[in-house]
Amino acid sequence: MSFYKLGLSYMLVTRLEEMGIIDPTPIQALCIPEVLKGKDVLGEAQTGTGKTLAFLLPIFERINLEDSRTQALVIAPTRELALQIASVAKQLTQAYPVKLLAAYGGQDIMAQLHKYGGEAQLVIGTPGRILDYLRREKLNFSNLDTLVVDEADQLFQIGFREELYAIMDQTNPERQTLCFSATLSQSVDHFAEKALNNPVAMTAPRKQITLDAIDQYVVLTSNRRKYDDFKRIFKQNYPQKAVIFCRSRIGVETLTKEMLQDGFDVDALHGGLTQAKREAVMQLFRDNKLRYLVATDVAARGLDIEGVSHVFNYNLPDEPENYVHRIGRSGRAGQIGVAYTFLTGKDEKRLQAIEAFIGQSIKQIHLGN
């Protein structure tokens, strides 16, 4: 299957080839023809399956360049994801000069408005900032052709349900709606029933993360000893490059502060930081100018980082699938990865759920006094 056979124009296919993209992924092959037909889509697709181009390519194909009104809107739950989608869209504008607006928090809205020329055929943003534009009457979605809700499960989990519906109330009721989610939860199903019109349901083949190349350990500890045990394991391993996961922003900040006081080359990544700070931290980490990153699941979701030798679960994730995504950041490119999970008594049920999900027991370590 080629992109031509999916219905894309010569200009877009040529641009994809310039970007090094030759063959469509399964979700792209499934999705692009249906979106081009104008159908609503409910897609279950993990990060890394190519779903961004699955909706951006047909959107670009259908946008009328002669019409300056906003014709497509993409809503993402986090600044990082909105920025990544906008980055891909910007690459496509070299073939199709679509007027693009990236609307997300973390930047001064007046500066963003000044940069924005008042016309955007495609808007990509987070719910809060899009509502800011609407309240200031800087955007008009009455002629919207396509609405995309990306990572819907995360969007509802974070708590953007009301904001999403407030935005939808100001869109063209005859629009096409595309909803993508890593998992089709009850919240996503309810949204689909309410917002989508006879959607085509499609599931991308799941991107298998092999755990064979990752040595996994559970460190039995207590709240009182947890940081000391973590530091002991950390120094024993002396990781080349590591991500340490916590469940909350406060947890990330607290652990980062403790690690900095102990001389570790570390920084924090969570949703409370400004966009400029988050981008700067990620660039340092990608460029190997920062060795250790303490992050929340939401902030790190969708970020593909090479060269991670160790993953530390300072807190266990709420969802077993997130454990697999966390530790799957190590053990790549033929290298053996290492994952340590620090378990206190209150998290035993979370560990049981993880072991059931991955179908194996994880070796336990008791450090003692």
| Same domain as 20, residue 127 | yes
| Same domain as 250, residue 139 | no
Decide which of 203, 235, 270 is a domain's last residue.
203
| Same domain as 223, residue 333 | yes
User: For residue 174, what pLDDT is reported?
Assistant: 93
| Same domain as 248, residue 157 | no
Whether 91 is covered by a domain: the verdict is yes
Structural domain total, the chain:
2
Whether 3 is covered by a domain: the verdict is no
User: For residue 210, what pLDDT is reported?
Assistant: 62
The predicted-structure confidence for 54-63, as pLDDT tens digits, reads as follows 999 999 999 9
Ranges of the chain with pLDDT below 50:
none
User: For residue 333, what pLDDT is reported?
Assistant: 55
| Same domain as 170, residue 310 | no
| Same domain as 141, residue 264 | no
User: For residue 280, what pLDDT is reported?
Assistant: 87
User: For residue 207, what pLDDT is reported?
Assistant: 58
| Same domain as 182, residue 40 | yes
Decide which of 174, 203, 232 is a domain's last residue.
203
Q: Give the residue numbers spanning the domain of 128.
A: 10-203
| Same domain as 37, residue 182 | yes
| Same domain as 189, residue 227 | no
| Same domain as 219, residue 106 | no
Whether 70 is covered by a domain: the verdict is yes
**Looking at residue 352, which CATH number applies to its domain?**
3.40.50.300
Inter-residue contact 188 to 153 (CB < 8 Å): yes
Whether 323 is covered by a domain: the verdict is yes
User: For residue 206, what pLDDT is reported?
Assistant: 66
Decide which of 203, 225, 254 is a domain's last residue.
203
| Same domain as 264, residue 221 | yes
The predicted-structure confidence for 175-231, as pLDDT tens digits, reads as follows 999 999 887 888 888 999 999 999 999 888 765 556 778 899 999 999 999 999 999
| Same domain as 192, residue 226 | no
SS (H, E, C) the chain: CCCCCCCCCHHHHHHHHHCCCCCCCHHHHHHHHHHHCCCCEEEECCCCCCHHHHHHHHHHHHCCCCCCCCCEEEECCCHHHHHHHHHHHHHHCCCCCCCEEEECCCCCHHHHHHHCCCCCCEEEECHHHHHHHHHCCCCCECCCCEEEECCHHHHHHHCCHHHHHHHHCCECCCCEEEEEECCCCHHHHHHHHHHCCCCEEEECCCCCCCCCCEEEEEEECCCCCHHHHHHHHHHHHCCCCEEEECCCHHHHHHHHHHHHHCCCCEEEECCCCCHHHHHHHHHHHHCCCCCEEEECHHHHCCCCCCCECEEEECCCCCCHHHHHHHHCCECCCCCCEEEEEEECHHHHHHHHHHHHHHCCCCEEEECCC
